[in-house]
């Protein structure tokens, strides 16, 4: 069963515009959410995260919003740059990071930023 | 100065063979993981080790045997390879314990090993 869902497989935006990547989850026990970015032939790279006690976390051009009641989070990238073109994975976790901590990943969204 | 490295990057082999994938991290982390990304693109955890001790084992067939000779290495040995084992396998590492920020404890991934079983 897919506990983390990224229903849109791809997104294409113009350089300079906003990219909004969506993610839904079903497990209400998740209390920490992360976004990873992945280029071809590389491993995923941690991008930004948010605790379930917050509804927004911002880091430079990247902002993650969490709507717990809707079990929905989104990643906003503004302004989008061609170098942002990659696959973005949403992930969720129960509890603090550690060896017992499992990340549950979505399928990923392929973002293409057109120059 | 690679943080998490895996060898080989590509592995093509016949059904029934035994193969190993090696992983090394030079980040001083104490926890290492193996993930499998299947044809449907889901990344799923297989194992985690903390200080050479197995912590997570996610209903993986016992043909898969992780081995951690030390904190910096976590190798994956696969016996009697099957067609369904074809996937990209990612190694990752992290620090356990609390840090100055959540990102301090997040997982760093290797570049992946694409295994193709013919």
pLDDT digits (tens, 9 = 90+) for A31-83: 899 999 999 989 999 999 999 999 999 999 999 999 999 999 999 999 999 99
Contact between chains at A103 and B107 (C-beta distance less than 8 A) = yes
Chain A residues closer than 8 Å to B97 by CB: 98
Q: Which two three-digit tokens encode residue B27?
A: 């980040």
Cβ–Cβ contact A8 with B under 8 A? no
pLDDT above 90 as % of chain A? 84
CB pairs under 8 A between A and B: 69
């Amino acid at each position: 069963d897919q506990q983390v869902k990224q229903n849109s497989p791809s997104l294409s935006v113009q350089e300079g515009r906003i990219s909004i990547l969506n993610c839904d989850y079903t497990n209400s026990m998740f209390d920490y959410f992360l976004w990873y970015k992945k280029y071809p032939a590389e491993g995923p790279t941690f991008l930004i995260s948010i605790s379930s006690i917050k509804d927004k976390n911002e880091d430079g051009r990247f902002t993650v919003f969490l709507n717990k009641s809707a079990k929905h989070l989104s990643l906003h990238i503004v302004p989008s740059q061609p170098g942002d073109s990659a696959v973005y994975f949403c992930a969720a976790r129960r509890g603090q990071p550690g060896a017992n901590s499992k990340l549950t990943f979505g399928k990923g969204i392929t973002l293409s930023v057109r120059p | 100065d690679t943080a998490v490295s895996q060898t080989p990057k590509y592995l093509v082999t016949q059904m029934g063979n035994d193969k190993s994938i090696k992983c090394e991290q030079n980040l001083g982390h104490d926890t290492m993981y193996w993930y499998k990304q299947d044809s449907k693109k889901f990344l799923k955890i297989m194992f985690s080790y903390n200080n050479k001790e197995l912590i997570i084992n996610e209903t993986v067939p016992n043909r898969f045997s992780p081995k951690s000779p030390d904190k910096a290495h976590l190798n994956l040995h696969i016996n009697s390879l099957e067609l369904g084992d074809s996937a990209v396998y990612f190694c990752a590492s992290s620090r356990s314990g609390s840090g100055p920020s959540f990102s301090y404890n997040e997982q760093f991934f290797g570049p992946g090993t694409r295994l193709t079983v013919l």
